[in-house]
Amino acid sequence: MRQIDRLPQPECLDSVDKSKEWDDFIGTECHSKITKHLHDEQFGVCCYCEQIITLHTGDNPANCHIDHMKPRSALKNQVKEHYNYQNLALSCNGVSEIETSHCGDIKDNRKYSQKKWDEALFLFPHDSNTCGLFEYLLDGTIQARNGVNKNKAEYMITYLNLNAPILVSKRRTFARTLSDLIRLNKTPEIILWLTDNYLMPDQNNKLKKPFNSLAKTLIDP
């Protein structure tokens, strides 16, 4: 997971009727503003798996949704807390086959989740200590980094299904392609180009490539 630095919350949240159920809030103008705000805050990538996420434009639906990192089910009847910006992040939509889904889709589906919500183990991507707990391997898998809080890192990998086959396959292809580029063209100029294209946001403040943490491991270990 890539560390996310918080922006000030959207102004519209100050005037939202926080007694309204979240499901009734979805689709409102303020919900759309929050979605865009989170998209900007996260440089256009999923808060968990770091895939590129896109917003609704024209006839193209969004491939992401607002995720309550601490699930609404754990907030019980505290409807007001559903609007706590510090608990909101933008997650990808996983995949259509729920058994192999990941990120926000799988964590809130208790039928298929391999782990239950555990507040003591959950790692927020906005915490500066979180991103350093994971190691990204060339085979596309993620594991707990040596010498870190292994229980927390392994919980997150399982809870979010970050080693779902579809994610592993995408990361493996990405790692092999980038590794070959570095191996065959390891000059200061190429490393500078790779840094700009794989690690830095574009003119719209969006990352150009997915899997930023994996790319950083290869380009700037």
Kindly state the percentage of the chain with pLDDT values over 70.
Answer: 95
Tell me the pLDDT of the chain averaged across its residues. Answer: 90
Render pLDDT for 70-99 as a digit per residue (tens, 0 to 9): 998 888 778 899 999 999 999 998 765 555
Return the pLDDT at 154.
Answer: 95
Q: Is 112 exposed, middle or buried (0-12, 13-18, 19+ CB in 10 A)?
A: middle
Return the pLDDT at 101.
Answer: 84
Return the pLDDT at 97.
Answer: 58
Kindly state the percentage of the chain with pLDDT values over 90.
Answer: 74
Domain boundaries, given as residue ranges, for the chain: 11-219
Q: Mean pLDDT lowest for which of 62-66, 68-72, 98-102, 163-167?
A: 98-102
Render pLDDT for 158-192 as a digit per residue (tens, 0 to 9): 999 999 999 999 999 999 999 998 888 778 888 89
Higher pLDDT, 9 or 148: 9
pLDDT over threshold 90, residue 53: yes
Contact 87, 94 (CB under 8 A): no
Give the predicted TM-score (pTM) of the model.
0.92
- Rounded-to-10 torsion of CA 206, 170, 116, 35: 20
Higher pLDDT, 62 or 17: 17
Return the pLDDT at 82.
Answer: 94
Tell me how many helices (H) and strands (E) the chain has.
7, 4
